[in-house]
């Protein structure tokens, strides 16, 4: 990217202070820093990896579809480095100028290999005080990443893997117990990866509140998907109904492209637009990402949970962290069809799932379970 009028960010000291406060990826060493391994995704939900799958020192890092390439698996060991194939993400010649090549190199402990994941989802090299960036702001396959002045654009927004020590209160064993018959698409690793986009999810308040929120979210999405079985809406006759041509952006993916998908069954062109804008992913033009990429799919569910008041007066997240109760999450998600006696059987199904999940997590369910 080469715009000359990009604004620089805060001074390095302020940045380090901010990141230390949020604690997403700190430059700590020793056993207290838990390792995390997984994909790093950027624009269009694509992954970064070594160009051509090469692992030699000096290999450029680029963006391409998440294909399971071994070099698309990155480890964040907690010491500030980002590693794959036994090498580190490195700035060529320890450069600090805009356009500096980002490459694989033997890990050497230098400032050229230190990265901080900020609360704004930037990957920042603190020595240069600049961000990991997609050249030209492009999401095309094989777009090379580079160092560039931080500017807040989607080309600098990343989702990084989080570790089992990241604070998520549901273990993989508990997740499997909750959804024994789930579709393999709904992976635990995809959910954990998605949480990095919304670290406040199941990360706010006491241990009890965090477990209650996790149980509430999973109970609702389990209900929406038949126990995490269905990835897409089953009634195909509804598919053409979710295009609102009154929106200025229209329906570029087609009249029938915005049907329900994912754990929250995201539907309507305006919801795909809003979710994509929030996540830095073009879901308006490529809604199929929600049914093809587990991490993107989970992110759309968390986007709704954390940001939308839906048919209620508060987000699902706020309902749980303020002790308004599980019933308010039902009202937010489907209150106009289920609450106030409209469909008590559906409400009871959600409550039953929530009670079962809180029992699995060993936490009280709280009050105000119904709407």
Residues annotated as part of the active site: 224
SS3 341: coil
- Closest of 336, 364, 331 to residue 350, by C-alpha: 331
The pairs formed by 84-87 with CB atoms below 8 angstroms and a separation of 24 or more are 84/49, 84/50, 85/50, 85/55, 86/55, 87/55, 87/57
Question: How many whole angstroms separate alpha carbon 1 and alpha carbon 155?
Answer: 9
- Closest of 271, 273, 269, 215 to residue 245, by C-alpha: 269
SS3 47: strand
Question: How many whole angstroms separate alpha carbon 370 and alpha carbon 351?
Answer: 7
Other CB atoms within a 10 A radius of the CB of residue 141 amount to 11
φ/ψ of 307, rounded to 5, equals -125, -20
- Closest of 316, 324, 323 to residue 209, by C-alpha: 323
């Amino acid at each position: 990217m080469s715009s000359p009028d990009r604004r620089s960010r805060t001074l390095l000291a302020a940045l380090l202070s901010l990141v230390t406060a949020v604690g997403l990826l700190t430059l700590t060493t020793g056993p207290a820093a838990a390792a995390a391994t997984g994909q790093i995704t950027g624009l269009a939900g694509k992954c970064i990896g070594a160009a051509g799958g090469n692992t030699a020192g000096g290999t450029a890092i680029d963006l391409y579809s998440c294909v399971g390439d071994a070099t698309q698996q990155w480890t964040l060991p907690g010491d500030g480095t980002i590693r794959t194939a036994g090498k580190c993400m490195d700035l060529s010649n320890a450069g600090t100028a805009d356009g500096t090549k980002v490459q694989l190199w033997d890990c050497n402990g230098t400032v050229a290999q230190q990265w901080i994941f900020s609360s704004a989802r930037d990957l920042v090299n603190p020595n240069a005080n600049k961000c990991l960036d997609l050249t030209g702001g492009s999401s095309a396959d094989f777009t090379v990443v580079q160092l560039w002045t931080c500017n807040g654009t989607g080309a600098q927004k990343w989702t990084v893997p989080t570790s089992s020590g990241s604070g998520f209160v549901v273990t993989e064993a508990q997740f499997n117990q909750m959804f024994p018959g789930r579709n393999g698409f709904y992976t635990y690793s995809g959910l954990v990866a998605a949480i990095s986009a919304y670290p406040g999810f199941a990360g706010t308040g006491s241990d009890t509140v965090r477990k209650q929120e996790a149980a509430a979210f999973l109970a609702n999405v389990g209900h929406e998907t038949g126990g995490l079985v269905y990835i897409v809406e089953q009634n195909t006759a509804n598919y053409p109904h979710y295009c609102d041509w009154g929106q200025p952006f229209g329906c570029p993916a087609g009249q029938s492209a915005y049907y329900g998908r994912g754990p929250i069954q995201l539907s309507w062109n305006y919801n795909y637009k809003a979710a994509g804008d929030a996540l830095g992913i073009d879901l308006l033009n490529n809604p199929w990402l929600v049914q093809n990429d587990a991490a993107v799919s989970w992110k759309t569910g968390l986007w709704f949970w954390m940001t939308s008041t839906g048919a209620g007066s508060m987000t699902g997240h706020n309902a749980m962290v303020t002790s308004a109760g599980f019933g308010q999450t039902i009202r937010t998600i489907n209150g106009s069809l289920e609450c106030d006696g409209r469909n008590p059987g559906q409400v009871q199904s959600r409550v039953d799932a929530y009670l079962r999940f809180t029992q699995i997590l060993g936490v009280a369910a709280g009050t105000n379970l119904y709407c």
